[in-house]
Amino acid sequence: MSLIAEAKKGNLTEVMKQVAAEERVEPEFVRRGIENGRIVIPVSPYRHTKPCGIGKGLRTKVNASIGTSSDIVDIDMEIEKARVAEATGADTLMELSTGGDFYDIRKKIIDSTTLSVGSVPLYQAFIEAIRKYGSAVDMKEDELFKITAEQAKLGTNFMAIHTGINFVTVERLKNQGRFGGLCSRGGAFMTAWMMHNEKENPLYSEFDYLLEIMKEHEVTLSMGNGMRAGAIHDSTDRAQIQELIMNSELSDRSHEAGVQTIVEGPGHIPIDEIDANVKLMKRLSGEKPFYMLGPLVTDIAPGYDHIVAAIGASLSSAYGADFICYVTPAEHLALPNVDDVKQGVITARIAAHIGDMVKNNDRGRDLEMGRARRDLKWDRMYELAIDPEHARAVRDSRSPEDSEACTMCGNYCALKIVKQNFNFER
């Protein structure tokens, strides 16, 4: 029985209880959230994972995307990236390989982690069509659904599926045009296939069949953002909003069918449009979990896009986004390496926490850090830090003469001076 079915029957499952304990909320809060579609817990009947609750009233979650490319196929590196992402605090992984043996790579990565793993079946379907027929537009619809089921059987917990692309959405894109084009790989593949074959997107036209596959294998459906703009000048345009409307309608059908559902958002948005995007998505979808892809709030910082995305993600989280996809320093430049993944996860976790300080009033850890700094308790500061190892290493690399202070202020540490003259304990 699916989690939605269990929730509707009033049953508290073990996974619901585990998420409630992790989030410090009542199990009944989680059950009701799943029942009404505001919370999801990606699970799989084929593997045990660390339960991860995503949705309203819970901590903002961070996804780390990994995977090979057509230029670099290094399975050992991808496995190490998966391990580093989990060790650094990612809540989920997305395995997005576009090069090599898809089955072997995905299986090895899934076997290497306890996190929920997501995928995009459409990538494999189109790339295998290129290998087999010489062109992506020759992909057969049945192959797309077959690959979706095969990926589910590997233990994939959630899938980004581009359901909201249809002839109406594509027409909006053609009529308005774009300054920065279309940066969704899945969206680009599918629109090319539709225009060449003059056929509707099968993920839209055969949506009920897709739901049968999702329900059979208990995969959480993440409504892909195929109209994602590649430049902030194209943000919140007609094609994006049309796709959001379609995905919101389909997300209701998905939930009614007993399939847990997430709705994905755009990736390039200026700061002044983030609030509107989050609120519009939440209103149209009935408060379903919102997965924000970044977002990037300026387009001129390649090499630093993890910082750019952290600015956007912190605001997105504060306004109500539930799930954010990290961005690494390699974004727009290269396939991320292990260090890029680590930096991406840590930066996104900082952004998620900043948002949660507003959205969930989650400020207890910051209070404890303030007290530890006031009292010059360095070990406690390290314990509370997002990256304790890095914090300790930085201070140790420039050791102070006075063990209570640091080399920034040295003998003239403001906190030490105040500590000698006041008692601020509270």
Q: Are residues 121 and 186 in the same domain?
A: yes
Range of the domain at 189: 58-359
Rounded CA gap, 389 and 377, in Å?
Answer: 16
CA neighbor of 296 nearest in space, from 246, 356, 348, 244: 348
Encode 11-21: b = buried (16+ Cβ within 10 Å), e = exposed: eebebbebbbe
Name the domain count of the chain: 2
Residue 217 in domain: yes
CA neighbor of 255 nearest in space, from 4, 54, 2: 4
Q: Are residues 193 and 325 in the same domain?
A: yes
Q: Are residues 229 and 378 in the same domain?
A: no
Amino acid at 270: P
Rounded CA gap, 170 and 79, in Å?
Answer: 37
Residue 14 in domain: no
Q: Are residues 84 and 158 in the same domain?
A: yes
Q: Which of 332, 359, 386 is the last residue in one of the domains?
A: 359
Q: Is 269 exposed, middle or buried (0-12, 13-18, 19+ CB in 10 A)?
A: buried
Lookup result for tokens 């209701």: 252
Q: Identify the CATH number of the domain in which residue 171 sits.
A: 3.20.20.540
Q: Let me know: does 228 contact 187? Beta carbons within 8 Å.
A: yes
Residue 154 in domain: yes
Residue 355 in domain: yes
At residue 385, what are phi and psi to the nearest 5 degrees? -70, 150
What is the predicted pLDDT for the residue at 245?
A: 96
Q: Are residues 353 and 417 in the same domain?
A: no
What is the predicted pLDDT for the residue at 26?
A: 98
One digit per residue, the tens of pLDDT, for the chain of length 426 reads 799 999 999 999 999 999 999 999 999 999 999 999 999 999 999 999 999 999 999 999 999 999 999 999 999 999 999 999 999 999 999 999 999 999 999 999 999 999 999 999 999 999 999 999 999 999 999 999 999 999 999 999 999 999 999 999 999 999 999 999 888 999 999 999 999 999 999 999 999 999 999 999 999 999 999 999 889 999 999 999 999 999 999 999 999 999 999 999 998 999 999 999 999 999 999 999 999 998 999 999 999 999 999 999 999 999 999 999 999 999 999 999 999 999 999 999 999 999 999 999 999 999 999 999 999 999 999 999 999 999 999 999 998 888 888 888 888 888 888 877 777 777
Residue 33 in domain: no
Residue 21 in domain: no
pTM, two decimal places = 0.95
Residue-wise pLDDT tens digits, 121-141 = 999 999 999 999 999 999 999
Q: Are residues 302 and 404 in the same domain?
A: no
Q: Which of 334, 359, 384 is the last residue in one of the domains?
A: 359
Residue 298 in domain: yes
First to last CA, the chain: 50
Q: Are residues 345 and 406 in the same domain?
A: no
Q: Which of 306, 335, 359 is the last residue in one of the domains?
A: 359
For the chain, count helices (H), then strands (E): 19, 10
Query: Roughly what angle, to the nearest 10 degrees, separates helices 238-256 and 207-216?
Result: 50
What is the predicted pLDDT for the residue at 27?
A: 98
Residue-wise pLDDT tens digits, 61-96 = 999 999 999 999 999 999 999 999 999 999 999 999
What is the predicted pLDDT for the residue at 414?
A: 83
Residues 6+ apart with CB under 8 A from 337: 77, 81, 330
Q: Are residues 316 and 388 in the same domain?
A: no
Q: Are residues 401 and 343 in the same domain?
A: no
Q: Are residues 272 and 350 in the same domain?
A: yes
Query: Roughly what angle, to the nearest 10 degrees, separates helices 121-133 and 102-111?
Result: 150
Residue 99 in domain: yes
What is the predicted pLDDT for the residue at 153?
A: 97
Q: Are residues 82 and 115 in the same domain?
A: yes
β-pairing verdict for 220-223 and 261-264? parallel
Q: Let me know: does 115 contact 49? Beta carbons within 8 Å.
A: yes
Q: Are residues 335 and 412 in the same domain?
A: no
